[in-house]
Amino acid sequence: MEIPGLNLLRSKDFTDKLIKGINEIIREINKPIKFMHVCGTHEHTISKYGLRTILPKEIEILSGPGCPVCICPAADIDKAVELGKRDDTIITTFGDMIRVPATNISLAELKAKGADIRIVYGPNDAVKIARENRDKEVIFFAIGFETTAPLIGYELQSKPPSNFSVICAHKLIPAALELLMSQSQLRIDGFISPGHVSTIIGMKPYEIFSRGYKIPNVISGFEPNDVLLSILMLLKQVRDKNYDTINEYSRVVKPEGNIVAQKVIDDVFHPISSPWRGIGRVYDGGLEIRDKYKEFDADKKFDITIEKSQDIPPGCSCHLVMVGKLYPFECRLFRKECNPLNPIGPCMVSLEGTCSIYYKYHSENNS
């Protein structure tokens, strides 16, 4: 069995050529460069293959807010916890989500106390549970970016049973990138943009960065040489001062994206100003369920208000790690009080979380 193109995408010969090219261009540019990716899977590739150790030291790759589990506000988890405390509810969500610390307790702890919390692989499983348990309210705690939103949208369009509802905590990536650009102290020289999200939204939403903010943008795949080629493509744009949005992941991402999925999102949701954990309120940074599907919106169906929530526990630096202002090993809790068995902040929980990835693959510093 052969994965197409894998020989090239993980080939050392090709890597060596890319690194040679990168070294040549960085010499021409002759100043330190900072690129940011906004996808947990990119961080995973970069760390798993040790790419930072073979890049020239002038290039810094920052890890942005690319883990949907990490940026989900504590208040939304608190909501799921409150609903989960009721005798007549079953809370369903993705695996990583149940371990994320919230203001008081996580869903995992609630489950240990006897609440019916179930891990599902997708919203279709949650709907199935709703059909099989008509005497219970089955609530799907929906997190994720543009990649998972169409799945939930499709379920709502397909007439789920009346005992099914959704806590909608979906976020939108381009809006968050724009917020990061406005934070002048970051001085990002280019974005390695997420291949998965782009599969849905296509290339157009990124054009504002190349045209408006004059910084380059490359939509990248997830093999080591995908990421290195994207870095080379970004560097060329920096050198030539010719800023564009380029699709390195063209074997998967179409320029227009997935139109069917876009229509589903548009039919079921509308963008709203939305809080991101550790980042704050992002204009048009989230999705809300439209009125025509409001009977499935858990926010409207149940009267739950969270008075006060705590996104970042004392001492935790996740809010700085998430926007690339701090490396995980610069946090004083990292590898000490905070580890994957006992995560204090959200970035230590998910396999896509920056702290969790650094714990697994990195030494104490970046060397």
* Footprint on this chain of other proteins (rule: CB under 8 A): 1-3, 6, 10, 12, 15-16, 19, 47-54, 68, 94-96, 99, 101, 105-106, 108-109, 112, 121, 144, 147-148, 196, 224-225, 228, 340-344, 351-352, 359-363
User: CB of 269 within 8 A of CB of 170?
Assistant: yes
Kindly state the smallest distance separating residue 149's Cβ from other proteins, in Å: 12
- 8 A C-beta contact, residue 19 and residue 54: yes
**Residue 6 or residue 259: which is nearer to other proteins going by CB?**
6
Is the Cβ of residue 92 or residue 210 nearer to other proteins in the bound state? 92
Is the Cβ of residue 94 or residue 334 nearer to other proteins in the bound state? 94
One-letter amino acid for residue 53 of the chain: T
Round to whole Å and give the CA distance between 99 and 352: 13
Q: Which is nearer to other proteins, 112 or 260 (CB)?
A: 112
- Cβ 29 to other proteins, closest distance in Å? 22
From the CB of 42, what's the least distance to other proteins, in Å? 13
d(CA 42, CA 357): 11
In the bound state with other proteins, the residue whose beta carbon lies nearer, of 86 and 111, is 111
CB 131 → other proteins: shortest distance, Å? 22
Q: How far is the CB of 33 from other proteins (least distance, A)?
A: 19
